[in-house]
Structure formats: structure tokens, C-alpha cells
Amino acid sequence: MSTIYELLLLIPVLLLSLSLHEFMHGYISYKLGDPTPKSQGRLTLNPLAHLDPIGSLVLILTRRFGWAKPVPINPNYYKNPRRGMMLVSLAGPGSNFFLAALFALIARVIVFFSSASLYQLQAAGYGNLVQTFFVFFQLAVIINLSLGFFNLLPVPPLDGSKILMGILPPKFDKYIRKLEGPYGMVLLLLLAYTGILWSIIGPLVNTIYGILL
């Protein structure tokens, strides 16, 4: 697949996946009593409200990892801040897993009505419209599974660190917070550059992808 062709398929997936991820963070926080996401204009699927230029570029380059602008939230509005933060954090990766399942279902419907086997579509060229649509949804499944598992890593500022803080006793918070700021992001970039990051989440992505498609 040519780079330009893949980018044309990748960009709409990127816009939807990152926007829904951040929207769900804001929506759950809003439903838990926090007006901040709404007042900051983040309860929208408009990609312009969510996209981070660097995070989007990283996703385009890696086809696996990326991020959007974090939705501003205020846990003080929650009845139970620790539980609330955990639910808000789960909502983002949850939206990506939902999209992966939805896109996989659509891809299987395409295969079913095209009167061709899954293997035939994967092995053939991508010249006709049916095959192009299949490749688009196949790519969407991979990206959303990757985003979902990536964000579940327990490294700040990823969602997984906040989920872990909601599970562990409060006395462990200080250890997780030590990675906040530039340290966590530097660690993630280092893991991505060395290939360790994909070695961690790759088997999970491939396993679930194999089940879905």
C-alpha cells in the first residue's frame, strides 16, 4: 500500500478516534457533575477542539501511538473523586475498543456481502471500492486497538495511571505522581523509539485483532 494512499485512509480514522476518545472523557466527567469540559468547549466531536499537532503527527508516523489535547476536568465536583477519575479515564480507551469492535463488524459485513473470503480480500490488491473500504476498516480496527491498549499503560499522563490510582490505596499515589510532568512522556517516547512499547501492547493488539477479524 502506498504511503499517500494509506494516509488518505488514516486521517479520517485519526480524526474520529482521537476526537471520540477525548469527548468521552469530557462527557463522563460532565455526567458526574463537572461543568468544566462543557465550559471549555470540549463536549464536541469537532476534531479542531481536541487534536494535538505533535500527538497527531506521532500517530501518523507510527500508525500505532498518538494523543490529543487532554480534556480539562475538575475531580472536586465528583462525589467520589478517586472513583470518578477512574471512570473518566476508562471512558477514553473504552471508546477506542468500541470503535474497534464496530469497525470490525462493518468489515465482516463487507466481506460477507462481497462474496469473497477474508483471506482473498487481504491477499488481493486494493484497486476496487469494496477492497478499499475493507482496508479502511481494517486499519481503523488496528489503530483503535493500539490507542486503547496504549492509553491503558500505567504511565502518566496516560489514562492507565489514573485507573491504577483509583484501584490502589491512596498511599501509592505519590509513586505514580513521580512520573508526572516530562518524565512520563520521555519514558513513553523512549519505549516507543526502542520498540519496547510495541513489544508490550503488540501481542494484545494482534490477539484481539485476530478475534475480531
Active-site residues: which are they? 22
Query: What grid cell was written down for 10?
Result: 488514516
Query: What grid cell was written down for 109?
Result: 459485513
Give, in degrees to the nearest 5, the angle at Cα 137 between 135 and 141. Answer: 115
Q: Which of 140, 152, 129 minimizes the C-alpha distance to 213?
A: 140
User: What backbone torsions phi and psi does residue 84 show, to the nearest 5 degrees?
Assistant: -65, -45
Give the Cα separation of 27 and 44 in Å (integer).
9
Indicate the DSSP class of residue 66.
-
Longest Cα–Cα distance of the chain, Å, equals 58
3 state SS of 51: strand
Query: What grid cell was written down for 72?
Result: 480539562
Burial bucket for residue 82 (CB in 10 Å: 0-12, 13-18, 19+):
middle
